[in-house]
Structure 1
Amino acid sequence: MLLIFHAIQWLSLNLGGYTPHKKAVDILNWFLTSSYYLLGNTVTFINHQHLPTNRSIIFIANHQSMYDIPPLIYFLRKHHAKFISKIELATGIPSISYNLKHGGAANIDRNDPKQSIGEILKLAKNMKEKNWSTVIFPEGTRSKTGVMKPFAVGGIATILKKVPHALIVPIVINNSWKMVRYGSFPLNTFIAMRWEVLKPIEPEGLSAEEIVKKAEAAIREKVML
């Protein structure tokens, strides 16, 4: 699937530009999300919030596995949500690396603070100019047991300096860590995985630290262990 869509992405981007490429990425992530069902796992994505499409959004989520990401891309597709990713993922993985390189993600080198800030600022500029959104995992790394790690403020604070009116939307992810309980292989079966979009936080009058604290508290309250 990744090999096929790597070619489709290349053709879409080079023949049509951003919009066809994004549609190809959305369809790829529908297929990736649907593949979870092959193992008897289920995906429930709950969004009862009326989120604007004419305003940039910073989606803040806990992070349990790489399988968190395809449902986020697909179900949030109308918001043009881009990811902050470690630079190592931008090479060597069919489809995934191509999208990270050419789809608008911020690919950061954790050993190079200057490069990392530059990438995040470039993403913030695109958010401001193109009305894009972003998905941030403030824990920094995946939780292998579902227990949340403390949220870092850095990346969110940097984006808010450039896009101060971006809406903050927490998302809680539950049980995706169980799919990789035994590592990448074998993947676990019959897991009820769940994504839920929580009540938005207006940033006006709040510091970045206060915003992240509110988002972290809202997500912690909904995490199931």
Structure 2
Amino acid sequence: MIILLALRALLFYLGFALTIIWFSTTGILLFSFLPYSIRSSYVLCWNRFVIFWLRCTCGLKVEVIGAENLPATPYVALAKHQSSWETYFLQQFLAPVSIVLKRELLNLPFFGWGLRLTDPIAIDRGSPKQALKQTLEKGKARVADNISVLIFPEGTRNKAGAEVKYARGGANIAVASGVPAVPIAHNGGEFWPSGGFLKYPGTITVKIGKPISSVDNDSREITEQARQWIEAEVEKMDKRA
């Protein structure tokens, strides 16, 4: 069983690597000078391929519940962070959206090149105060440009079941911009474990909660509401045997 899983994961990563080289290189050469809507749409074709290729090679499917809760206008998505899977899926599913990530990722060959074309909010996690300021300023700018913001309030990937604190950066953007915060729960870490090579077959459940208004609400309360809802929903989701 383990050997079969390893072979399937190897096939997945082979397609992953070859296509990221193609999309990042052609994106830089042919789309970097075009408007955000065009260049980001092209790069996100790769994200869609990753999700499709996962299903073909590793038998990993996706079920989304509550998509109707996504506002028609910009918002700040506060999502659970268990693995790399949600970064690929949510970035394309919520588009147009600007993802908050650590600045070092933009320096990775090919992968970082493609990321740059999507106008992410890149922060320096070595300087927490500066990172908080950058997140707020850039997040407000994205919302003003009619682009939503995707942030993982846990700050880093955590194994399924781990208890962590939620940072208020995303809620700060929502309050400062006057837009709602949307909590998103999922069990992606059960099937694509953080730091793991193997990918397990099954169905990842993504549940999108009702928007949390930022009107007459502060970032601490918004963050806590999102945390309680996300953690409660994750607890209800299927666990890999």
TM-score bracket for the superposition, by shorter chain length: 0.7 to 0.9
In 2, distance between residues paired with 1:63 and 1:157? 16
Name the residue aligned to 2:131. Answer: 116
How much has 1:12 moved relative to structure 2? 4.2
CA distance, structure 1, for counterparts of residue 190 and residue 213 of structure 2: 30
Map 1:177-192 to 2 at 5 A. 177-180=190-193, 183-185=195-197, 187-192=198-203
Match of 2:31 among 10, 13, 38: 13
Measured at CA, do residues 6 and 48 of structure 1 come closer, stay the same or move farther in structure 2, by a change above 3 Å?
closer
In the TM superposition, residue 209 of structure 1 has moved relative to its aligned partner by 0.4
Alignment partner of 1:138 is 2:156? no
Which of 165, 172, 175 is the equivalent residue of 2:185?
A: 172
Q: Partners of 1:48 and 1:110 in 2: how far apart?
A: 31
Q: CA deviation at 1:157?
A: 4.5
1:57-68, aligned counterparts within 5 Å?
Answer: 57-68=75-86
Task: Find the counterpart in structure 2 of residue 71 from structure 1.
Answer: 89
CA distance in 2 between counterparts of 1:105 and 1:167 reads 20
Find the aligned partners of 2:121 and 2:138 in 1 and give their Cα distance.
6
For 2:87 and 2:219, how far apart are their aligned partners in 1?
24
Tell me the alpha carbon deviations over residues 150-207 of structure 1, each in whole angstroms, 9 at most, x when there is no partner. 2121x124423531x11111000114343236x442x132132121111111111111
14-23 or 82-91, larger mean C-alpha shift: 14-23
Q: Secondary structure at the match of 1:107?
A: strand
Using the size of structure 1 for normalisation, the TM-score is 0.86
Structure 2 portions without partners, runs of 5+: 1-18
Q: How does 1:1-225 map to 2 (within 5 A)?
A: 1-37=19-55, 38-53=57-72, 55-77=73-95, 80-94=96-110, 96-153=111-168, 155-160=169-174, 162-163=176-177, 165-180=178-193, 183-185=195-197, 187-223=198-234, 224=237, 225=239
Distance in 1 (CA, whole Å) between partners of 2:46 and 2:58 is: 18
The 3 A distance-change label for structure 1 pair 67 and 51 is: closer
Report if aligned partners of 1:49, 1:198 keep a CA contact under 8 Å in 2: no
Amino acid of the structure 2 residue aligned with 1:160: A
Change over 3 Å in CA distance of 1:12–1:148 after alignment to 2: farther
Partner amino acid for 2:200? Answer: T
Q: How many residues align structurally?
A: 217
Q: In the superposition, relative to structure 1, how do residues 99 and 57 fare at CA in structure 2: closer, same or farther (>3 Å)?
A: farther
Q: Which moved more, 1:194-203 or 1:109-118?
A: 109-118
More off after superposition, 60-69 vs 36-45: 36-45
CA contact (8 A) 1:106 1:122 kept: no
Query: 2:161 & 2:30 partners in 1: Cα distance?
Result: 37
Whether the aligned pair in 1 keeps the contact of 2:182 and 2:210 (CA below 8 Å) is yes
- Percent identical: 28
Give structure 1 stretches of 5+ with no counterpart: none
Partner of 2:9: none
Report the secondary structure of 1:149's partner residue.
coil
